[in-house]
Amino acid sequence: RRDKAPSNICTAQALLAKMATAYAFWHGPAGLQAIAERIHGLAGRLAAGLTASGVAVLGASRFDTVMVEVRGKAKAIAAAAEKTGRLVRVIDADHIGVAFDETSTESDLEAIAGLFSAKAPAAADRTVPGKPRGKEFLTQPVFHENHSETDMMRFLRRLADKDLALDRAMIPLGSCTMKLNAAAEMMPVSWPSVANLHPFAPASHSAGYRAMAGELEGWLSEITGFDAVSLQPNAGSQGEYAGLLAIRAYHRSRGEGHRTVCLIPSSAHGTNPASAAMAGMSVVVVRCSEDGNIDMDDMRAKANEHSKNLAALMFT
For residue range 190-219, list pLDDT tens digits in order.
888 888 888 888 888 899 989 999 999 999
Domain 236-313 CATH class label: alpha beta
CATH for 11-147 is 3.90.1150.10
In the chain, where are the structural domains located? 11-147, 236-313
Report the pLDDT averaged over residues 262-283. Answer: 90
- Cα dihedral sign, 211-212-217-223: positive
The pLDDT value recorded for residue 236 is 78
Checking if the pLDDT of 103 tops 90, the result is yes
The pLDDT value recorded for residue 1 is 56
Q: Among 93-107, 226-240, 289-303, which stretch is predicted with the lowest mean pLDDT?
A: 226-240
Question: How many other CB atoms are found less than 10 A from the CB of residue 304?
Answer: 9
pLDDT digits over 119-167, tens only?
999 999 999 988 877 778 999 999 999 999 999 999 999 988 887 766 7
Checking if the pLDDT of 268 tops 60, the result is yes
Cβ contact 57:51 at 8 Å: yes
From the list 163, 173, 283, the residue with the least C-alpha distance to 237 is 173
Cβ contact 58:51 at 8 Å: no
From the list 297, 301, 294, the residue with the least C-alpha distance to 316 is 294
The pLDDT value recorded for residue 166 is 67
Checking if the pLDDT of 173 tops 60, the result is no
**Chain-centre distance for alpha carbon 7:** 16
| Higher local confidence (pLDDT), 244 or 12 | 244
At 254, which amino acid appears? Answer: R
* Residues paired with residue 262 on neighbouring β-strands, in sequence order: 283, 312
pLDDT digits over 63-100, tens only?
999 999 999 999 999 999 999 999 999 999 999 999 99
The pLDDT value recorded for residue 177 is 53
Does this model's pTM top 0.85? Answer: no
The pLDDT value recorded for residue 54 is 96
The pLDDT value recorded for residue 178 is 54
CA distance 177 to 182: 11
**Chain-centre distance for alpha carbon 74:** 28
Q: What is the mean pLDDT of the chain?
A: 89
The pLDDT value recorded for residue 77 is 97
The pLDDT value recorded for residue 180 is 61
Residue by residue, DSSP assigns the chain as -GGG------HHHHHHHHHHHHHHHHHHHHHHHHHHHHHHHHHHHHHHHHHHTT-EEE-S--SSEEEEE-SS-HHHHHHHHHHTT---EEEETTEEEEE--TT--HHHHHHHHHHTT----S------SS----S-SS-STHHHH--SHHHHHHHHHHHHHTS--TTTS--SSS-HHHHT--HHHHHHHTSHHHHT--TT--GGGSHHHHHHHHHHHHHHHHHH--S-------SHHHHHHHHHHHHHHHHHHTT-TT--EEEEETTS-THHHHHHHHTTPEEEEEPB-TTS-B-HHHHHHHHHHTTTTEEEE---
At 158, which amino acid appears? Answer: R
Report the pLDDT averaged over residues 5-15. Answer: 65
The pLDDT value recorded for residue 90 is 94
At 124, which amino acid appears? Answer: A
Q: How far is CA 6 from CA 271, 277, 279, 280, in A?
A: 9, 7, 11, 11
The pLDDT value recorded for residue 185 is 79
Report the pLDDT averaged over residues 22-50. Answer: 95
Checking if the pLDDT of 60 tops 70, the result is yes
Given pLDDT bands bounded at 50, 70 and 90, which one contains residue 2?
low
Q: What is the dihedral of CA 127, 132, 133, 138, to 10 degrees?
A: 90
CA distance 150 to 154: 6
The pLDDT value recorded for residue 40 is 97
What's the alpha-carbon Rg for the chain, to the nearest Å? Answer: 26
